[in-house]
Amino acid sequence: MVAGRDVARGIEPVVRRIITPKDAALERARAEGLQVLEGRYRVEKYRGDSTDPADLVEVVELAPNLFLTAGLTALWKLAAGQSATAFGANTRLAVGDGTTAPAAAQTDLAGTNKYRQQLDAAPTVAGNQLQMAATFGTGVANFPWREVGVVNAASGGDMVSRALADLGTKTTSATWILNWALAIN
């Protein structure tokens, strides 16, 4: 069985990729031989409490995120051996219903409804990429998802990135997995 395909019911997940002018700008930068710090989010939507590939309904791949000053400052401090709250065990992937455009000076999601979910496992590093994922079960974050972010604390802390997209409304009849990948390409 192909991941996400339910042959018995003839159902295949919808894969939707949100493309913005940032995608073209990144391609131009790469074509010029520049290395680019790029963060991207992906949401996998499943029926009920399942994360079985047969219950995968939709995958949404977002355009590149915006890095926020406070979060990047924390990352640079950590890289320089200075004091800052580490990402890792403290990391949360955050969702909210805000519609305010991302801006570098922001320190949190902008919505009224917000939820931060601890990662499913420690972030993984492979080559030039850092990856993390958090599962939002049926009992949490049931509101319209319009913004996502990465933060290094259950509350407060430093938000390293934020992206805006209408991802749909999560309900108690669904489990969604939010993934974030950070790469230098």
pLDDT in tens, 137-160: 999 999 999 999 999 999 999 999
Split at pLDDT 50, 70, 90, the class of 3 is: very low
For residue 98, being part of any structural domain is answered with yes
Whole-number pLDDT of residue 11: 60
**Token pair of 26 as six digits:** 């990144």
- DSSP string for 145-170: EEEEEEESSSSSS-EEEEEEEEEEE-
Split at pLDDT 50, 70, 90, the class of 65 is: confident
Per the structure, the complete domain to which residue 53 belongs is given by 14-184
Name the least confident of 28-32, 78-82, 113-117: 28-32
**Could you tell me which of 177, 155, 48 has the C-alpha nearest to residue 107?**
155
H or E element in which residue 44 lies: strand 37-47
Whole-number pLDDT of residue 100: 95
- DSSP string for 55-79: GEEEEEEPPPPEEPHHHHHHHHHHH
Domains: count for the chain: 1
Split at pLDDT 50, 70, 90, the class of 4 is: very low
Q: Is the pTM of this model over 0.75?
A: yes
Residue 159 CA to residue 67 CA, distance in Å, equals 9
For residue 6, being part of any structural domain is answered with no
For residue 149, being part of any structural domain is answered with yes
Whole-number pLDDT of residue 38: 85
Split at pLDDT 50, 70, 90, the class of 15 is: confident
For residue 119, being part of any structural domain is answered with yes
Digit-coded pLDDT (tens) for 83-137: 998 888 889 999 999 999 999 999 999 999 999 999 999 999 988 889 999 999 9
For residue 1, being part of any structural domain is answered with no
For residue 170, being part of any structural domain is answered with yes
For residue 4, being part of any structural domain is answered with no
Average pLDDT, the chain: 89
